[in-house]
Amino acid sequence: MELANYLLTVATRHARAVDAHEEEMKELRLREKRSKSGRHNFSLTYDDETALLKGVISWVRGKPACLKKLSSPAIGSLAYIFQAKVADDPNIEGYEIVDKLVYDPEKTINYLNSLGELKEQGWIRLIDIPGKSFTEQPPFCWLQSYIELGDTFHKEMGASQQSSRSFISNDAYLDAAFLYLQAVIHDDTSIYHVNEPATDLATYQPEDWFRRIVMAVQCSTCSLPAAGTIEKYSLSVLQHLTLVGLLGTRDGDIQYDFTDPANVSKLFAQGRVCRKQMEEHLFGEKSPLMRNRLLESNHGSFGETVQLTQLGIKSLLGKQCGKITAKEQKRRVKKNTLFDFEEPKVKKDSVQLPVSAMEAIQSLIFSESREGRVIRKSWQLSLPAACGSPTGSTVLLYGPPGTGKTLTAQYLASELSLPLLKIDAARVLSCWVGESEQNVRRIFDDYSMLQKELGIAPVLLLNEADQLLGARDAGSNSVDRMNNNMQNLFLEGLERFSGILVATTNRRDLLDEAFSRRFTYKLELSAPDRNLRIELWKSHLPLQRLAEDVDIGQLADHSLSGGEISLVIERAVRLLSYRGITTIDHKTLMDIAREELASRMKRNGPSGKIGFGAVNS
């Protein structure tokens, strides 16, 4: 208790001394202001800060011998860190400590270096904040790092102090485990690695920090399902941490890919032999993680991955593992994948397509229904083995802008009562070498993961597909090689795809011919003819608010697409609302329709044709 009392006294006395010093400075400034000179010479300089802190430290008696090698800034920093921990602030950050000691911003570096001094001697650990990345190098990156008390501190405090804190909930335990894994991930000293092939991985215990977590579990009185997995399933500590790491990866609490067995073995072991042993210990046939089906292996298109089963999730979360809400699912998908998550509600009347295209969409909807899948399977059994149809449904929708390609995908998801996963080409393409190809792999791996997690096959919408599925060439520069690699990865992914994919493009002529047989359906959504435009106007207009002079036939004479018709009506509603008019008149609609048509003519030339050149089907 000598160390604890000393540090708390230093922090308290320093805070009081600062307050007293500031009051003195205010009084001196007030006197100076009243003087004839009007000069303001009194401010808290760095020398004052140093003298103030040194004075407090020298005034507090009973300085423990273990602190004699530390500088005054380091002792001051450690005092405030310990005070924060006693006040039950588990996530104290570097800037909070520096802010208590620094009054001259130019001298911040001195106290940042004191954090480095404490880190070097094992008094503290500095951990990157999960979900954030910083480009600054030490010591400035420590301003936004979590601070944990280190092994030297706990050694000096004594073992009895280590077990004094307990967990108040299962989430608190998981947060502590996530924080420990973050330290392992960002470790640059290899102290966490197993590097001896003779090490018994089943009984291996990490260094002191994780042992303190175990001690806190023993002192806890609340239910901790996550901690209980070690005894319940006879897991080693390393297997337990892998299970927790997969949960952190899934929910975005840990920025590390625990789904890759090679990544995990590299995290916990050093050296080829040790890593091989580690991978077998964690993911081999004899591993309790696999035998108890807490994890499952997925031999995907791009290698083996592992993920938590529903049993694995339930074992960690306990009763919290129920059916998650659509809002929570949307948050998880957006945070952990490249997709946007939607649950569209589009009615059939809202979709106006050419007869042949609508019939094809209806046949697709039927084939993916329960009855349709049974009938399709019976057909497959009667076909030659080499000619069976693919298990998934892939659709290419092509045509001019505004013809309803995205709306058709939303309608498809609505009719099948499935969520829609949207991804745009811009989220896949990257300027960094290899990252675009990695994102392509993620599309199929993330879809497969969600397919298993949700127990259904969502509709995957790939917008602007021509940017990703463009024609390959024999170019030798890095961009051409990247594009060719992406095409090959997409071809392989589509070959094994088992869900529902809709790709859209305005330029089918730009797509590589190799993709033609990968799409079960290739549907052209051409510019609507006059009869279809009449139906589009009727489906978009608020018929109960039309003025008597509105002539839908005359409006349909303008060769607008469905998307453009929707924009015309939107503009009309806004304009009439501004004018305080409650009905839509013919002149307003005609004027805005002509403006929209004129705008398109400026884009596409005097012919005013929708979209681009003729497209071969």
Q: How confident is the model at residue 478 (pLDDT cuts 50, 70, 90)?
A: low
**For the domain bounded by 163-322, which CATH number is listed?**
1.10.10
**Two tokens at 578?**
């501004």
pLDDT value at residue 392: 79
**Two tokens at 436?**
């675009």
225 phi and psi, to 5 degrees?
-55, -40
- Per DSSP, 458 falls in state P
pLDDT at 604 over 60: no
Relative orientation angle of helices 46-59 and 72-86, to the nearest 10 degrees: 70
Smallest CA-to-CA distance from 330 within 454, 223, 440, 236 is with 454
Alpha carbon 100 to its chain centroid, in Å, reads 34
**For the domain bounded by 530-604, which CATH number is listed?**
1.10.8.60
Mean of pLDDT values over 501-529: 82
pLDDT value at residue 245: 93
Q: How confident is the model at residue 162 (pLDDT cuts 50, 70, 90)?
A: very low
Q: How confident is the model at residue 130 (pLDDT cuts 50, 70, 90)?
A: low
Contact 223, 170 (CB under 8 A): yes
The fold adopted by the segment(s) 340-524 is Rossmann fold (3.40.50)
Q: How many CB atoms lie within 10 A of CB 47?
A: 10
- H/E element holding 538? helix 530-540
194 phi and psi, to 5 degrees?
-85, 120
pLDDT value at residue 229: 92
Q: How confident is the model at residue 558 (pLDDT cuts 50, 70, 90)?
A: confident
pLDDT at 539 over 70: yes
pLDDT at 589 over 80: yes
Q: How far apart are CA 374 and CA 379, in angstroms?
A: 9
DSSP per position, 475-501: --SHHHHHHHHHHHHHHHHHHT--SEE
Rank 83-87, 208-212, 424-428, 550-554 by mean pLDDT and report only the highest: 550-554
Mean of pLDDT values over 168-195: 79
Q: How far apart are CA 233 and CA 342, in angstroms?
A: 38
- Lowest-confidence region among 111-115, 301-305, 594-598: 301-305
Over residues 362-398, the pLDDT tens digits come to 988 888 888 887 887 777 777 665 554 456 788 898 8
pLDDT at 357 over 70: yes
Rank 161-165, 271-275, 308-312, 541-545 by mean pLDDT and report only the highest: 271-275
**Two tokens at 237?**
């500590």
DSSP per position, 241-299: HHHHHHHHHHHTSS-S-TT-HHHHHHHHB-SHHHHHHHHHHHHSTT-HHHHTTSEEEEE
Q: How far apart are CA 101 and CA 607, in angstroms?
A: 72
For 326, 327, 341, 419, the CA distances from 333, given in Å and listed in that order, are 10, 10, 6, 11
In the chain, list all ranges with CATH 1.10.10: 163-322
Mean of pLDDT values over 536-548: 84
**Two tokens at 208?**
């002191």
Give the mean pLDDT of the chain.
78
pLDDT value at residue 188: 57
Contact 218, 228 (CB under 8 A): no
pLDDT value at residue 243: 94
**Two tokens at 520?**
């079960």
- H/E element holding 300? strand 295-300
DSSP per position, 94-131: HHHHHHHH-SSGGGHHHHHHHHHHHHHTTSEEEEEPTT
